[in-house]
Structure formats: structure tokens, C-alpha cells
A and B are shown apart, each in its own frame.
Chain A
Amino acid sequence: MIQLKVNGAEQSFVGDPEMPLLWYLRDVLGLTGSKFGCGVGLCGACTVHVNGQATRSCVTIMRDTAEKEVTTIEGLEKNGLHPVQKAWMQINVPQCGYCQVGQMMQAVALLNSKKKPTDHEIDEAMSGNICRCGTYQRIRAAIKAAAGEMP
């Protein structure tokens, strides 16, 4: 049995310890905000936080989540919207929106470690997150807008 915390709640997992966290979140817990895009850690649609670090949940197996704290978009902000979500709305970032949860989780992790990231730092941090609709320039603008509003 694997014990972990998901969005603050204690969970125990009984099953194939090789199962990626993404499928546990989606199929077992029903937390479908995190998305399946590539299954091999190349697109970032599945990005969640594990102990505060942006992590590709599609290649993080359950065994490695033991005693860890997992945060998904559903648990990102207890009250209302996180500043990154507000910025995403203000700049009107999403088109289809499918990748945006992963983009925002990556952006939150970036802003938690860098208060005012430069263009170069943004591009570097966000380079693992693909958006096929092509919203990148708005993502960059939204990260800058959120930078001043972080708690």
C-alpha cells in the first residue's frame, strides 16, 4: 500500500506500483483536470506538483509518490482563483484549453521559485509544455502579469 497526500487529503493506493500518477489521479480519483497528452513526459499536459515541484505525472510511477504531497489544478487554490489562473483569464490565454492546466501548473512552479522571470527564463521553464493551438505569446504575457500578483 502506498500512502500519499493529494490536494491535502490522505490517500492510500493499492494496485500496480508501476502505474503512473496521472492514471491514478484521472481514472481512480476522478481528478480529470490533469491531462493525458503523450504518455512519455514530452508535452507537459499532465503537469502536477509533487512536493511543490512541477512534475510530469504521466511518467511518475505510484511507487515514487509514497509519502509525497501531490497538488493538482483542483487543489491549486482553496479560495477562488490562483493569481496565475486570474492572469490566464485576463490575458485570455486558452484556445482549446487542453494543455492549459499543465501550462499553469508549470507557470506556478516557475513563479514560486522566481519572482520576476525574464523572457529567457520563461521560455526555458515552459519549453516542456506544448500548446498545439499556439498560445505561447499569451502564456508569456500571462506569466508576466501574474508575476506581480503572487502571494
Chain B
Amino acid sequence: MSATENVSRRRFLTGGVIAAGALVLGVRYYSRLSSGDKLPHDTNADHATLHPSVFLGIEPDGTVWIVASRSEMGTTSRTSLPLVVADELDADWKRVKIEQAIGDKRYGDQNTDGSHSIRSFYDAMREAGSTARFMLIQAAAKQWGVPAAECETDLHVVVHRSTNRRAGYGELASAAAKLPVPKREELKFKPKSAWRYVGKGEVSYDLEALVTGKAIYGMDARVDGMVYASVEHPPVLGGKVKSYDDKEALKVAGVRQTVPMDPFQPPPAFQPLGGVAVIADNTWAAFQGRKKLNISWDNGPNETYNSDAYKNELRATSHNPCKVVRNIGDADAVFAKGGKVYEADYYVPLLAHASMEPMVALAEFKDGKATLWAPTQNPQAVQDIVSKELGIAKEDVVCHVTLLGGGFGRKSKPDYVAEAAVLSKKVGRPVKVVWTREDDIKFDYYNAVASMYMKAALGANGKPTAWLQRAVFPPIPSIFDVNAVYGDPSHLQQGWTDMPYDLPNLRIENGPAKAHIRIGWLRSVANIYHAFAIQCFTDELAHAAGRDPLDHLLDLIGNPRTIDFKGVEYPNYGASIEAYPWETGRLRHVTEMVAEKSGWGKRKHSKGTGVGIAAHRSFLTYVATVVEVEVNDQGEVRIPRVDTVLDAGLVVNPEATRAQFEGAAVFGASVVRTGEITATKGAINQSNFQDYPVARIGEAPYQTNVYIVYSDAPPAGVGEPGVPPFVAAFCNAIFAATGKRARDLPITKLGLS
């Protein structure tokens, strides 16, 4: 994302309110629209007097429109990215209005996943703000007949100090709009010392709406004439309706009709699952009607899937040589010599996202076009799948993005949105599809179940002389290719191929596993099971060697160096390895800092209490976490305190970042305590919060202290990196408190009570 160019677009000139000669600034990789004169929904920014960027518009009254192109699911990116624009513009935040973009490729990537909203759009946001500021200064200088270099800005006004002249952004907007848009090289970005918002942050733009119930989520979307739908999906992935009887369903008051839905053609990708939909006048009637359906299913080949047997298969695979993804030295030669060799199996089951807002979408198919209102992390993926399902052009799919009641990766997969679109076309009315919690738990794209085999030989000083790790899990690419069985580089990189320890002999492997359910991204993704295995095995080795876990961990991280990935497929989360090198010194620094902040080794731990530590880099952010636990005689585990230190490079919004790491600890607590999805004969056993519990207030950490390392490194992720080290540190703390080692999550299997 760098250079900008003028994209003169006719539709902006015919908009009525637009002055001739107005220009739109695009970012170079945004493809130009071919005809360019009929986008379905222009933004207010597009129609503002000065609109030098697709992200920005300034009105004559000084109102600044900033377009949020990323989805808001609680990370505050809808506020933080506009803050960057406002800062470079030197705008008054109180005069900024944020509007949400529809799905539109002119904004570039809109898939709000992978903790990269700030990282990928920081430069574009700065450029948008700086460009407008440049043009406003030029306009003022021209009016006053003074050199632009003598003018500056001061919170929404341009100032010429020596003549004491001032002009507001609003009054300059029209004149500025007539000027040429500057090249990127001409822009002068504000020095860090002049930043108003970046690094200081702001609360969510939507905060008042959130506490008054006025915020509109997907669940709250309404249009006139809409009906409600609830869909009975095939219980087993790939199953089909053999026959169904809807007589009783149609008797339910408020039920209008039932609609059979086609099964998907493998691979599943983001296609609707098929089944039978009940259409009704309200959500409740749709739910009730659905209960009265009598459906006979053909479950198909995945009926053979049982998660217990599958676990054994994964483990067996991991006990034999697998595909090598990275190798240093000769670990086997060291193991062959005997001595102190340790082995351990680690296991993390399938995990469900369970965002508080279940899947929901509203669709209106009319005159060959589809309009959607959806809590989606990826409106362009909505356009793709809806255009395919309905056989219409992508441009004829308009996806409005509502607020998301949580996402955690589930809502980047728009199967539920496509379902609403298909139903609207069949029913001939706007349809709102509402998934129940049971649908959400049973028809998720689960975080992969994973089995990790770990082996290490310890030298005389307690440091490993050889290390072998094998991970086996059904990979995410299996949703796009039914034959995909190996982890792809973008998931193996997540804390596996980049195992950072300074070791002479290291072999990292990955084994095959066929998927029988849909696998997908979930907050932190593969980092959860990879960090769990590596950081808990590290702790095991420390205890085996009789060493302090912190000292042992620091020894393994070693002296500051940059990891060399020559000959290794390491995508680095899509970022360049030059801009974002893997620096062990930064991991070491956060580890040392969390030890100090948590009082590691200085606090006394009574019986049943203990602390654990773990360190991990994910989404380009370095994190170390210390968790303190108390386990009582009944085996109940409390988490009185968590300390976590992060180095995410430049942090735009520290307050939102702290909140993300507080939340990550709670998310991780759910993984360790109760996170487990199982399947019998291909069907998911869990259904709601009684059998898929997530952490409640007393089960969450009582106090999570978050410390941010302030850094001039480029910005990295903050939404996900807190989870993986928390999970491992929590398990290490349980061992410290009880002597019981959690290798098999969740800890309900540990026998603490």
C-alpha cells in the first residue's frame, strides 16, 4: 500500500453535489472500476466537497467523513484506522464522522481477519489524511498569496502565523478541491512529536450507541416486508435430505412455507450447507416450525467420523516420521546416542467460535440484484459467494456491513449470508436467516483438532541438544480442496516452522489428516495448539532439568538474533521479512519484562497456588505472559492474576490494545478450561453453552495487567497474539500449583477434582 494516483471517475462528477474537476484518490493496487459511473451506494465521503481519497471527504461546514472499510467486531479498528487519518489531517476528532463501507474492491482487502487491519492500512490512512492536509494548505496559501511552506495546520484550521491569518478546513474545502492531488513524494507526514491521536488512542466511536442498545448488529437489521427463516441443516457435513414432511410445521401459527435447500457440491468452501428452511412471520415461529419438520437424511461418507477414534489416528500419525518443514543439524543422531531423552504428546480438540451473536443475515433479492445486511468480516467474500449462488454479477451484490456481535474468524466465512440470499430469491421477499446457538455450535468452521508429538534430548547443563516436533491436524485448505491433508505454509508458520529456540539440532514436521468437518480460522488459529505444545514442553523440560522455568526459557530463546528462514517456506503473515524480521531479542525482552512486572521468583506461593510463564510471537507481535492460579481442594481453578507484555511495534490505540489482551486471556481461559467439540457418527455432540461452556466472570482472570512495549517498529497485530501464550502459561501454572501436567486439553480431563 503505498503510492497513490488520481483516479478520475465520472460518477463523482455526475453526482450533483460534486464540483467539476473533483478528483478521487485511489491507492494504486485498487483496481479501477471499468465504467465507473454506477456504484450502488456511494459514501458521504464520495459526495463531500473535498474528497481526495476513497476513505475521506470534507464538507464546507468542516465535517470530516472517514470511511471504515474494515469490519468492527470489537477490536475498535473502525475507530483506530480513522484516528490515523484524522491525525495526519490534523483534524478535530469531534468533527469526524465515520461511515461503514459496503463490500467494494476499491477499498482493497476488506477481510477483517489475521490481526492486520492496522498493519496493512496504516500507510494508506496516513496518506489519505496527509493528502487532504496538503491540499488545504495549498488552497490557503493561494488565497493569502503566501508560500505554502510558511503555512501550517492547527486542529482543523490552516494558519499563517506571521500575518496571523487562519482559515477553517470547511471554508477551504471548495478551493482545495480544485487543486491537483499531490504525489506521495510531495507529502510531508507529521513528525511523531506532533501526533495527536496515534499512540494515545480514543474510545470506540460507537461507545454511546453500544451502551444504549442503539448499535445495529446483523441481528437487528430490518427492512419492510421481510420474513424470517430458520434452517435445519444436514447433521453430518455433506449430508442430503432424502425426504421430508412439513405438514406439522405448516400448522404452526406464523409459519408461511418451507423451502428445501440444495446440498453443496464439495468442497464446501463458503457454500450454504443445504437442508430445509422454514419461513415465518417472526423468528420464534420459524424456530417452532423447524422443530416440527420430519426429515429423513442421507448422511453420506462423513458418517464414519468419530472424534475419539480420530484422536488416536492423529496421535499414531504423529509417532511416525512425517513431512519435514524445517531442519537444522541432525536430531536423530543425538537421540540415537541415548542419554536424557524426553517425549510428550499434546492434544487440543476442535474449538468453536461461539460469538455472542449467532450467524444471521438479511437479504433482499430484487430485479436481478441482491442487497445484504450482514455481520460479516469479509463483505467481498459475500459478494463472491452470493454472485455464484444466485448466478448474478458480483457488482450486482451489495453487502452492507453491520456491527458484528463478535466474530473471532467465524464471520469471515459467509455461508450464512449466502443462505439468506438463496432464500430471498426462492421466496421472493427479503429474508432474514437467524441461526440458533445450536446451529452456531454444530455448524461451525472449527479450529483444527491437533496432536503434537514432542521429543528432546537434554545436555549436561539442562539445555536441549536435540529437538523434534511433529504436528498433525486437518488443515484449513480442506474446505477448498477435499484432498488437502497437510498444513499449508500460512498455518504451519503459526508458531511451528518459526520455533525460535537457539538449538544445534532441530527438526520440525507435519503429518497428514483428512477433514470430516469444516475447518476454519479461529482467533489465533494454529498458534493456539503450536504454542501450547512448545511452551508447555519447554516447561516440562525445565522441571526435568531442575531449572527455573524462566531461566530455562530465556536460555532457549538465546541471545538476540534474527532467525534465518533460508530454504524454509515462511510467509511471515504476509509481511515482508525485511520490514518484519523475526527478532529473538524482542521475544527475550518481553519475557524479561513480564518476569519483572509479575514479580517472578519474588512472590511466595502457598499450597495449591503457582505461576506459569510462556512466550510466543504471532501475527508479528511478541508476547510473554505470566499466569497465577489457585486450585482449591475441590479442584476448582481460579486465576487471580495475569501479567502480559506485548511488543506490537507502533501501537495506534493503546487502550483498545489493552482491552484486546484482557479479552485474549479470557478467550484462552475458555480454551483451557472447557474448550472441546466432539463428534459421533459425523455429527457434532455439543449444542449450546451447557455443553460448550465458555468462561464466565468467576472463571476468567480476576485481573489481567497489560504492558505495552513502546516501539518504533512498524505496527503488528493485537487482536489475536494474546491467546497462545496465555493458554500455555495457564497450563504451566496449573502444573506449578498441582504437579499435574495438562497435555490433553481441556483440563476437565486432568482429574483436578
A100 touches B659 (CB 8 A): no
A148 to B525, CA, bound (A): 42
Given contacts A35-B219, A96-B74, contact A16 B689 (CB under 8 A): no
Distance in Å: Cβ of A111 to nearest Cβ of chain B: 15
- B206 CB within 8 Å of chain A: yes
Contact between B283 and A27, CB atoms less than 8 A apart: yes
Residues of A contacting B204 in the complex (Cβ-Cβ under 8 angstroms): 92, 94
Q: A130-B694, A130-B696 are in contact. Are A33 and B212 (CB under 8 A)?
A: yes
Tell me if B728 is interfacial: C-beta within 8 Å of chain A: no
Partner of B228, one of A27, A100, A137: A27
Kindly specify which of B29-37, B264-272, B539-547, B660-668 makes contact with the partner chain: B660-668
**Pairwise interchain contact B283-A100, C-beta atoms closer than 8 A:** no
Q: B121 an interface residue at 8 Å Cβ cutoff?
A: no
Binary contact readout A86-129 vs B (1 if CB under 8 angstroms, 0 otherwise): 00110011111111110010000000000000010011001111
Inter-chain contacts of B185 with A (CB < 8 A): none
Complex Cα spacing A135 to B421, Å: 34
Candidates B356, B408, B702; contact of A98 at CB < 8 Å: B356
Pick the most buried of B206, B211, B434, B690: most chain A CB atoms within 10 A of its CB. B211
Distance in Å from the Cβ of B254 to the closest Cβ of chain A?
A: 7
B697 touches A37 (CB 8 A): no
Contacts of B407 in A (CB 8 A): 96
Q: Looking at chain B, what size class is its interface with the partner chain?
A: 35 or more
Residues in B594-630 with C-beta less than 8 Å from chain A: none
B665 touches A134 (CB 8 A): yes
B693 smallest CB distance to A (angstroms): 9
Q: Indicate whether A85 sits within 8 Å of B211 (C-beta atoms), given known contacts A38-B437, A132-B356, A134-B664.
A: yes
- Indicate whether A20 sits within 8 Å of B284 (C-beta atoms), given known contacts A32-B219, A132-B406: yes
- Are A16 and B405 in contact, CB atoms less than 8 angstroms apart? no
A99 to chain B: closest CB distance in Å?
5
Of the residues A38, A94, A134, contact of B211 by C-beta under 8 Å: A94
A138 within 8 A of B: yes
CA distance A119 to B702 in the complex (A): 10
A92 and B436 alpha carbons, distance in the complex (Å): 29
Q: Contact at B700–A134, with CB atoms within 8 Å?
A: yes
Please name all residues of chain B whose beta carbon is closer than 8 Å to the beta carbon of A100 when the two chains form the complex: 210-211
The reply on B559 being an interface residue by CB < 8 A is: no
Q: Are A23 and B698 in contact (CB under 8 A)?
A: no
Closest beta carbon of chain B to A118's beta carbon, Å: 13
Collect the chain B residues with CB atoms within 8 Å of residue A97's CB. 74, 206, 210-211, 215, 403, 405
List B contacts of A43 (CB < 8 A): 356, 437, 689
- Does A150 interact with chain B (Cβ within 8 Å)? no
**Is B690 a contact partner of A42 (Cβ separation < 8 A)?**
yes
Interface residues of B in 392-422 (CB under 8 A from A): 403-408
Q: A33-B214, A98-B406 are in contact. Are A137 and B356 (CB under 8 A)?
A: no
Q: Does B345 contact A (CB under 8 A)?
A: no
Does A42 contact B704, Cβ atoms closer than 8 Å? Answer: no
Are A32 and B213 interface neighbours, CB within 8 A? Answer: yes
CB-CB under 8 A for A138 and B662, given A32-B219, A42-B690, A96-B74: yes
Q: Chain B 681-699, CB within 8 Å of chain A: the 1/0 string?
A: 0000000111000111110
B437 touches A72 (CB 8 A): no
Most B CB within 10 A of own CB, among A33, A123, A131: A131
Q: CB within 8 Å of A: which of B715-750?
A: none
Query: Does B143 have its Cβ within 8 Å of any Cβ on chain A?
Result: no
Q: How far is the CA of A139 from the CA of B287 in the complex (A)?
A: 32
> Contact between B689 and A89 (Cβ–Cβ < 8 Å)?
no
Contact with B along A3-36 (1 / 0, CB 8 A): 0000000000001100110010011101011111
Q: Does B253 contact A (CB under 8 A)?
A: yes
* Complex Cα–Cα for A133 and B406 (A): 7
The prevalent SS among residues of B at the interface is loop
Residues from chain B with Cβ under 8 Å of A36 in the complex = 219, 283, 358, 434
- Given A133-B663, A135-B663, does the pair A94, B697 have CB atoms closer than 8 Å? no
Q: How far is it, in angstroms, between the C-alpha of A32 and the C-alpha of B524 when the chains are bound? A: 31
A window 58-102: CB within 8 A of B = 72-74, 81, 85, 88-89, 92-101
Closest to B434 in A: A36
Q: Is the CB of A126 within 8 A of B214?
A: no
Instruction: Check B208 for interface membership: any CB of A closer than 8 A.
Output: yes
A35 and B356 within 8 A (CB): yes
- Assembly CA distance A73 to B74 (angstroms): 20
Partner of B697, one of A26, A132, A139: A139
Interface residues of B in 266-286 (CB under 8 A from A): 282-285
Specify which of A27, A93, A134, A136 lies most central, judged by the most chain B CB atoms within 10 Å of its CB: A134
The answer on a CB contact under 8 Å between B663 and A134 is yes
Check A96–B403 contact: CB distance below 8 A: yes
Cβ–Cβ contact A92 & B356, under 8 A: no
Residue in chain A with minimal CB distance to B405 = A98
Give the one of B212, B228, B288, B655 with max A CB within 10 A: B212
Q: Tell me the complex Cα distance, A23–B283, Å.
A: 7
Inter-subunit contact A131/B356 (CB<8 Å): yes
The distance in angstroms between the C-alpha atoms of A85 and B207, with both chains bound, is: 10
Q: A16-B253, A73-B213, A85-B212 are in contact. Are A99 and B356 (CB under 8 A)?
A: yes
B222 located at the interface, meaning its Cβ lies under 8 Å from any Cβ of chain A in the complex = yes
Q: Name the one of A45, A85, A96, A137 contacting B703, with C-beta atoms under 8 angstroms.
A: A137
Q: Is residue B48 contacting chain A, with contact meaning CB distance below 8 A?
A: no
Q: Are A34 and B213 in contact (CB under 8 A)?
A: yes
Contact A127 B356 (CB under 8 A): no
Contacts of B282 in A (CB 8 A): 19, 23, 27-28
Whether A74 lies near B213 (C-beta < 8 A) is: yes
> Known: A27-B228, A74-B213. Contact between A96 and B700, CB under 8 A?
no
Indicate whether A134 sits within 8 Å of B695 (C-beta atoms), given known contacts A19-B284, A95-B75, A96-B406. Answer: yes
Which chain B positions have C-beta within 8 A of A74?
A: 213
Q: In the complex, how many angstroms separate the beta carbon of A139 from the nearest chain B beta carbon? A: 7
B contact residues around A92 at 8 Å (CB)? 203-204, 207, 655, 659
Question: In the assembly, what is the distance between CA of A119 and CA of B703, in Å?
Answer: 12
Q: How far is the CB of B489 from chain A (nearest CB, A)?
A: 30
User: Contact partner of B689 among A33, A35, A42, A93, CB < 8 A?
Assistant: A42
Task: Return chain B residues, CB-CB under 8 Å to A101.
Answer: 213
B532 to chain A, nearest CB (A): 18
Please tell me if B423 contacts chain A, counting CB pairs below 8 Å.
no
Q: Is the CB of B74 within 8 A of A129?
A: no
Q: Is the CB of A45 within 8 A of B659?
A: no
Contact between B667 and A137, CB atoms less than 8 A apart: no
Task: Please give the residue numbers on chain A whose beta carbons come within 8 Å of chain B beta carbons, in ascending order.
Answer: 15-16, 19-20, 23, 26-28, 30, 32-40, 42-43, 45, 72-74, 81, 85, 88-89, 92-101, 104, 119, 122-123, 126-140
20 contacts between A and B (CB under 8 A): A23-B284, A36-B283, A42-B688, A42-B689, A93-B211, A96-B355, A96-B403, A96-B406, A97-B74, A123-B697, A127-B697, A129-B697, A131-B666, A133-B356, A133-B666, A134-B666, A136-B695, A137-B662, A137-B702, A137-B703
Given contacts A92-B659, A138-B662, 9 further A-B contacts (CB under 8 A): A32-B216, A81-B212, A89-B211, A92-B204, A94-B207, A96-B73, A132-B354, A133-B666, A134-B663
Nearest 9 interchain pairs by C-beta:
A33-B213, A134-B666, A98-B405, A96-B74, A95-B74, A134-B663, A97-B210, A73-B213, A32-B220
